[in-house]
């Protein structure tokens, strides 16, 4: 059984205004009863009152205006984890913790959010406290860091492969050059040696591209993906 605390509006507003997360209180009709300063900044609605607006509209959800039956009843709303968390807490009076979701917000774009809900009692009425963390920048930095780590691993591997491949390529190339200089060689053998040299040069170019990898670009390969050496190289 979840302990449901009782608060007065002024006391709760004082508390949520002191917190760094975007926080609002939603009643059983899904309307905003209280909203802190961070939420106003988050929705880019600093001068617009959010009180009495439906949660979707108050948060600036792009799907809000598209649904004829109102917020929470559209096709997109069926997949909305925010709606799911709110409904759960409003109906069951149980909290939800750190649910990660994405939301397309008017004038801002798609944001990655981590939401938590908590049942409360506000002046004798059952309400839900909704707190929102915007993880968009964090996730974006994580993605960049991951790409850098992958690139670093690719560069180390590429360096080792280049060095190891260049030696046998040099040996094949050199011996072919020696053989091709033999006078009176069967034309078919000369042709075969030319073909080997052509392929060695091709491998040499590939090695060159490997040495100049500066980005992490992939291409599909069967059911997986592999690094696109040409696209990842500075010379491409």
Q: List residues near another protein by CB under 8 A.
A: 159, 162-175, 177-178, 181, 200-201, 203-204, 207-208, 211
Q: Which helix (H) or strand (E) holds 177?
A: helix 136-180
In the bound state with another protein, the residue whose beta carbon lies nearer, of 130 and 162, is 162
Return the number of the residue (167 or 224) whose C-beta is nearest another protein. Answer: 167
CA distances in angstroms from 190 to 113, 166, 196, listed in the order given: 67, 23, 10
Closest to another protein by CB, 95 or 204: 204
Minimal distance, residue 187 CB to another protein, in Å: 20
Q: What residues form DSSP beta bridges with 125?
A: 122
Distance of closest approach, residue 203 Cβ to another protein, in angstroms: 8
Rounded CA gap, 125 and 207, in Å? 71
Handedness of CA 181, 182, 184, 185 (dihedral sign): negative
- At its nearest, how many Å lie between another protein and the CB of residue 77? 55
Residue 221's Cα: distance from chain center in Å? 23
Rounded least distance, CB 81 to another protein, Å: 48
In the complex, what is the shortest distance from the CB of residue 169 to another protein, in angstroms, rounded to a whole number?
4
Q: Are 35 and 51 in contact (CB under 8 A)?
A: yes
Q: Which is nearer to another protein, 171 or 192 (CB)?
A: 171
Which residue lies nearer to another protein by CB, 205 or 219?
A: 205
CB 74 within 8 A of CB 63: yes
Give the separation between CA 150 and CA 153, rounded to whole angstroms.
5
């Amino acid at each position: 059984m979840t302990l449901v605390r009782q608060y007065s509006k002024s006391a709760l507003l004082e508390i949520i205004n002191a917190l760094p997360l975007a926080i609002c209180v939603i009643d059983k009709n899904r309307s905003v009863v209280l909203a802190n300063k961070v939420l106003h900044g988050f929705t880019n609605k600093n001068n617009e009152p959010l009180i009495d607006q439906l949660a979707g509209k108050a948060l600036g959800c792009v799907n809000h205006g598209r649904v004829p039956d109102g917020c929470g009843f559209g096709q997109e709303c069926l997949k909305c984890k925010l709606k799911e968390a709110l409904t759960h807490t409003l109906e069951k009076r149980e909290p939800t913790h750190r649910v990660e979701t994405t939301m397309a917000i008017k004038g801002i774009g798609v944001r990655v959010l981590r939401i938590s809900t908590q049942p409360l009692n506000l002046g004798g009425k059952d309400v839900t406290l909704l707190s929102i963390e915007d993880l968009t920048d964090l996730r974006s930095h994580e993605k960049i860091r991951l790409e850098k780590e992958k690139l670093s691993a690719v560069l180390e591997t590429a360096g080792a492969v280049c060095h190891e491949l260049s030696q046998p390529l040099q040996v094949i190339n050199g011996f072919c050059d020696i053989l091709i200089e033999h006078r009176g060689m069967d034309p078919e053998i000369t042709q075969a040696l030319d073909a080997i040299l052509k392929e060695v040069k091709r491998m040499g170019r590939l090695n060159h591209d490997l040495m100049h990898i500066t980005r992490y670009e992939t291409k599909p390969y069967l059911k997986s993906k592999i690094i696109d050496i040409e696209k990842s190289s500075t010379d491409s």
